[in-house]
């Protein structure tokens, strides 16, 4: 069998709340090759592990800090110090549609980890188990952070280097939807880390990057000038979330032709319908038929 990379999406978030130390430890124990981490900057310039720029969907911030929301009603991590974030309790993500079989929303036993704490945990488990699980890190919304007066890419690269992740051979990837941020990391900030260009949909407003262009052969050739791989959305490869006939795109073949690997997001055991009764069936299509090199998954086991 060809090598296949299993990336624990925000930890083992199919079982424990996302981006918690406990979820990362479980993902490590389940055999993940990499733990995916999203990072944001706090008011005092610290890196915190959080997927959203704001705190409302995964914490009790509205109860803990009433009146600290912005005009849009949301409480942004960048408006709080790390010590303030540490007083919050993390819960299972509140979303529609919900995943009712996942960890209950109540409980109030989880906290937001700092980047330093997550690194300490993962490197410690690597040491005690003898199994090296890598980092797959995304600085959230570099353009937005820049408008807020903070350089999240620079701060993250500095912190990763201090933790021993700075070279191409280190088991770490830096990923982003922001093409300019990755190009800057390589060319201006002289990062030697392996870079992965995430590919979303232009309608998401994720960044000023033109994702439609990146999915063309010309766009993939441009990506290959600074990155080693791409991270597309699964529906851009194959239809795995409804019961339409399977239609595999040429994105993976074109990426391989450009010298790029493909790690797609996000495969969830509890978001598959009748045509795909389990993850094994979905993986047969993704790996054997489509040629996928790795996957971000909520269920790393």
Catalytic residues: 9, 51
Is residue 10 within 8 Å of 18, Cβ to Cβ?
yes
Residue 265: CB atoms within 10 Å = 19
Cα–Cα distance, 124 to 137 (Å, whole number)? 18
| Secondary structure E strands in the chain | 5-8, 34-41, 47-49, 134-139, 172-176, 194-199, 229-232, 261-267, 294-297
Is residue 77 within 8 Å of 48, Cβ to Cβ?
yes
Contacts of 5 (CB under 8 A, 6+ apart): 33, 34, 263, 293, 294, 295
- HSE-up of residue 176 (Cα within 13 Å, Cβ side): 29
Q: Which residue carries 């795109």 as its tokens?
A: 249
User: For the residues of 172-210, what is the DSSP string, one character each?
Assistant: EEEEES-HHHHHHHHHTS---SEEEEEE--GGG---S--
Q: 232: which DSSP letter?
A: E
Cα–Cα distance, 126 to 140 (Å, whole number)? 26
Cα–Cα distance, 201 to 274 (Å, whole number)? 26
- What the block records as the tokens of 207 is 């960044």
Is residue 36 within 8 Å of 136, Cβ to Cβ?
yes
Contacts of 239 (CB under 8 A, 6+ apart): 245, 246, 247
């Amino acid at each position: 069998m060809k090598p296949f990379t299993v990336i624990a999406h925000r930890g083992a978030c199919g079982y424990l709340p996302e981006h918690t130390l406990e979820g990362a430890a479980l993902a490590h124990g389940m055999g993940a090759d990499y733990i995916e981490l999203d990072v944001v900057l706090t008011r005092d310039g610290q890196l915190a592990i959080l997927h959203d720029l704001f705190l409302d969907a995964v914490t009790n911030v509205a109860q803990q800090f009433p009146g600290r929301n912005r005009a849009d009603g949301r409480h942004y991590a960048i408006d709080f110090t790390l010590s303030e974030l540490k007083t919050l309790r993390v819960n299972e993500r509140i979303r529609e549609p919900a995943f009712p079989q996942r960890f209950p929303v109540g409980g109030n036993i989880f906290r937001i980890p700092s980047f330093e704490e997550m690194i300490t945990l993962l490197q410690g488990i690597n040491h005690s188990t003898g199994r090296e699980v890598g980092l797959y890190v995304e600085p959230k919304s570099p353009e937005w952070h820049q408008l807020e007066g903070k350089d999240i890419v620079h701060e993250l690269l500095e912190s990763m280097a201090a933790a021993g992740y700075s070279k191409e051979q280190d088991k770490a990837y830096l990923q982003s939807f922001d093409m300019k941020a990755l190009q800057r990391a390589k060319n201006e900030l002289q990062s030697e880390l392996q870079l992965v260009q995430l590919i979303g949909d232009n309608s998401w407003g994720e960044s000023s990057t033109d994702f439609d262009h990146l999915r063309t052969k010309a766009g993939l050739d441009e990506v290959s000038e600074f990155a080693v791989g791409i991270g597309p959305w699964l529906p851009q490869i194959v239809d795995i979330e409804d019961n339409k006939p399977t239609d595999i795109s040429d994105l993976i073949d074109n990426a391989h032709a450009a010298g790029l690997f493909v790690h797609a997001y996000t495969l969830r055991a509890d978001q598959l319908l009748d045509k795909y009764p389990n993850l094994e069936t979905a993986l047969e299509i993704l790996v054997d038929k489509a040629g996928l090199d790795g996957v971000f998954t909520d269920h790393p086991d």
